[in-house]
Amino acid sequence: MKIEEWIEGFDLPVILHTRSDTRGVIEWYWKDQVKQFYESWEPNKSDVVIKTKLDKETKKAVHDELWEDLNKKFMAERKEKRIREVMNKNDLNYDDATKLVEKRYHTGYYKKL
């Protein structure tokens, strides 16, 4: 079954929730309701849509705060994936692979968001 067929059973958009320390519960969703289910998808800040009704200034602050949190999560996941890839490709243990990946991030070898 294709993802497009699978998501037809959902009420779209799929609304997600996050709690802001200063603004309470915020409802948001991904702009592309299909791509969000692909493991290889790498979202951008513009892919986040805030649903909660807020004034323009507050919405921007919430959007920035949410993206910062999401970006940390994505970077950690990508880094872990790269560590595993380096381990397998170079027959390294986890610590050595981690050091190599850290060095590559530090030198700009990997593209940063």
DSSP string for residues in 35-72: GGG-TT----GGGEEE-S---HHHHHHHHHHHHHHHHH
| 47: CB partners within 8 A, 6+ apart | 30, 31, 32, 35
- What local confidence, expressed as pLDDT, does residue 54 receive? 93
What pLDDT score was predicted for residue 113? Answer: 37
* Polymer length in residues for the chain: 113
Alpha-carbon gap, residue 59 to 85, rounded angstroms: 38
pTM here is: 0.68
pLDDT at 60: 94
Residue boundaries of the structural domains of the chain: 3-107
Tens of pLDDT along the chain (113 residues)? 677 777 777 777 889 999 887 788 999 999 988 888 877 778 889 999 999 999 999 999 999 999 998 888 888 888 898 899 999 999 999 999 999 888 887 777 765 43
Helix %, strand %, coil % of the chain (to 5): 55, 15, 30
3-state secondary structure of 7: helix
